Amino acid sequence: MSDNLDNRDRDLNGRIREKNSNTKVGTLRKTYGEDFAEGWRSDAHLGTVLDEASVDSLSEYLKQQRGR
């Protein structure tokens, strides 16, 4: 069982793990909706999207996208 907390997952031992840069956009769309990373293919990696957006984390990317 894992709980979602501030865009992070908490695993069974209570540690919080962040999405890594190899996570695919298609996987993240299951959590954040089909409009996540519009214009990107579902097999693109999160790290590539973050680099292109000039941000360091998924949280920053989500904040940036909400501000548009």
User: What confidence category does residue 8 fall into, taking pLDDT thresholds of 50, 70 and 90?
Assistant: low
The predicted structure's pLDDT at residue 2: 42
Query: pTM, whole model, 2 decimals?
Result: 0.71
pLDDT in tens, 14-53: 554 566 889 999 999 999 999 999 999 999 999 999 999 9
How is 39-58 classified by DSSP, letter by letter?
TS-TTSBHHHHHHHHT-SSH
The confidence score (pLDDT) of residue 18 equals 63
pLDDT for position 68:
76
Q: Which two tokens stand for residue 66?
A: 């909400």
